[in-house]
Structure formats: C-alpha cells, structure tokens
Structure 1
Amino acid sequence: MHDHHEPASGRVETRDERADRKWNELLQEVRVTQTGVQILFAFLLTVAFTPHFQALGRGDHNIYVMTILLGAAATGALIAPVSLHRIVTGHRLKPETVDWASRFTKAGLVLLLCTVASALLLILRVVVSDGTALWLSAGALVWFAACWFAPAVWLRRRSGKNR
C-alpha cells in the first residue's frame, strides 16, 4: 500500500519517495557545508600553535576558546546527519531521519555563522582597533545571516500568503 502525497507543487510521490528525494537534497547541502566547516575548524586548531598566539591578551584567548568551541559544535552538528543515517539505516525511519538531519543541518549553519563571526572578531582585533573589529564582525554576521537565512524566511512568508 502506497500513501501518495501531492504537495502544492503538484508532485506525486509516496512518503518514502519524498523522504529519499529530501535526503538526497540534504546530502548535497551538507557536503558543501561540511567541507567549509572542516577547513575552518582545522585552521582554527593550528592557531594556538603559532608563535604570535602567546602574545595575544586574555580577551583574545577567550575569543579563541569560544571560536574553537563554536567550530567544534558546528562540525558535530553538520556531521550528525551522516552518523544518524548510518545508525538507523534499515529500520524504516527515513522520513524521521530526514527531519532530524534537517534540524542538525540548520543548527550547524547557525553555529557555523557564529564561528565565522567569532573568528573574524579574533583576527580583526589583531589588525584594527577593538571597536572597529567588533563593528566589522557584527556587519559580517548580519551579511551572512542576510545571505543564508533572510531569503528563505522571506520566501516562506510569501509562500504562506499565497496559499
């Protein structure tokens, strides 16, 4: 017995077919973000071993610790869909897996946004004044949020009004 679902797009697919499609789409998205967060996290891990690191003040060390923890959390959230899928494969939980993987990915994106902003703050504090670094980092945070999240929010609201 197939339970066919026809969303507003007119696509006819079973619950399992929809889950398979959404899983494949999610995997493509996660591949891009995983690579970025892993490169950023690897770079951040090396910073503590550079000669200039010891010359940084306590505030910068605290920002570094926060940045590393955010990067680790982003990495964990963005890799979580893979481990979740591997552990529950074969238990007929694909739609639920897709939902959880989507939640982890969204959390990972927010954590990645915070990691980038925090890393920028750390680096910019070395290059420009503390106040300027804070404003530039905040501006970057707003820019990333505007690029990554604002269009989706706008589209979803617009879509909801049209229905």
Structure 2
Amino acid sequence: MTAPEESEQQRLARNLGELLQELRVAQAGVQILFGFLLSVAFTERYAHADEFVRVTHLVTVLFSAAAAMLLTAPASWHRLLFRHGRRAEIIRVANVFALSGLVALACAMTGTVLLLGEVVLGGWAAILLGVLAGLGFLTLWFALPLRERLRTLTT
C-alpha cells in the first residue's frame, strides 16, 4: 500500500510500530550501560576513587536511569491506553519521551567516556575525551538530523 492509500489509522499504527521498534534498539543499549555503571560501584578500585570520579559516576548513573525510564515509558503508555482510541496521543507523548531519553542516553554515554578517560588518562585529556564524545552525540544524533529536516522543509 502506498502512502496516499494509507488511512489515518493505518498511518498511526505504522508510526507507533516504528517508534516502538526504535525504542527497543535504544533500550538494549541503555540497559547494558546501566548494568555496567552499577557494577563499577562494587569494585575495589572504586572504593579509592576521588570525589570527581564518584560525583561523575553518580551523575552518569542518574542520566542512565533517566534514559531507561524515558525509553521504556512509551511501552507503558501504549499498554495502558491502547484500545481507547488514543493512539495519536500515545505517539505524541512517546515521541517526546524518546527524544528526551536519547538526550539522557547521550549524557550518560558522554559521562561514561569521561569516567573512563579520567581513570585511564586523567586531567585535561579526560575532559577532552568527554567533550569530544558529547559533541559527537550532539552532532550525529541531533544537529545533522535537524539540519536535514530543515533542509527538506525549505526545498
């Protein structure tokens, strides 16, 4: 069926299916990252970590938890509201959750790179790695897609 032949309900069903599939991919990554970050706190080396490492780790864990919450929330919304004629609302809210979850995941992954950089290299080199990771996520996940979207709208 081509797009012009697609009914509003079919389009909504397809959009929801695509969104939930995208979230499944992101959820796997965030769950692995969250588990890794939790396990770090129970290592002997962590007991001797300085305040910068501990605070960065805590903030990174919190971003990872936020990403997990935001990326799984659409499934809950779908489960609780489906068959109530609210698919368009579910998609609208799920899209906000998904984008917010990706921001939180980018922050968590940037924090993880910063932590690893601090443990391996320390100092400014670690900060540089964290900044480069953050810029990479910002560019690839947000700036380039938004630029493409704006380019498409103006042509």
TM tier relative to shorter chain:
over 0.9
> Which blocks of at least 5 consecutive residues in structure 2 are unaligned?
none
Of 38, 52, 61 in structure 1, the residue corresponding to residue 54 of structure 2 is 61
Query: What are the Cα deviations for residues 76-118 of structure 1, in whole angstroms up to 9, with x where unaligned?
Result: 0000010110110111100110111111000000000000001
Work out the CA distance in 2 between the residues paired with 1:130 and 1:68. Answer: 21
**Shift >3 Å, 4+ stretches:** none
Task: Please tell me the residue identity of whatever aligns with 1:118.
Answer: G
Work out the CA distance in 2 between the residues paired with 1:160 and 1:154. Answer: 10
Structure 2 counterpart of 1:135? 128
Cα deviation for residue 44 of structure 1 reads 0.5
Structure 1 counterpart of 2:96? 103
- Name the TM-score, length of structure 1 as normaliser: 0.90
Task: Please tell me the residue identity of whatever aligns with 2:136.
Answer: W
Cα deviation for residue 14 of structure 1 reads 2.4
**Residue 28 of structure 1 pairs with residue 16 of structure 2:** no
Cα deviation for residue 13 of structure 1 reads 2.5
Of 107, 118, 139 in structure 2, the residue corresponding to residue 114 of structure 1 is 107
**Between the two proteins, what is the percent identity of the paired residues?**
37
**Residue 38 of structure 1 pairs with residue 22 of structure 2:** no
Of 101, 119, 125 in structure 1, the residue corresponding to residue 118 of structure 2 is 125
Cα deviation for residue 141 of structure 1 reads 1.0
- How many aligned positions are there? 154
Give SS of 2:4's match: coil
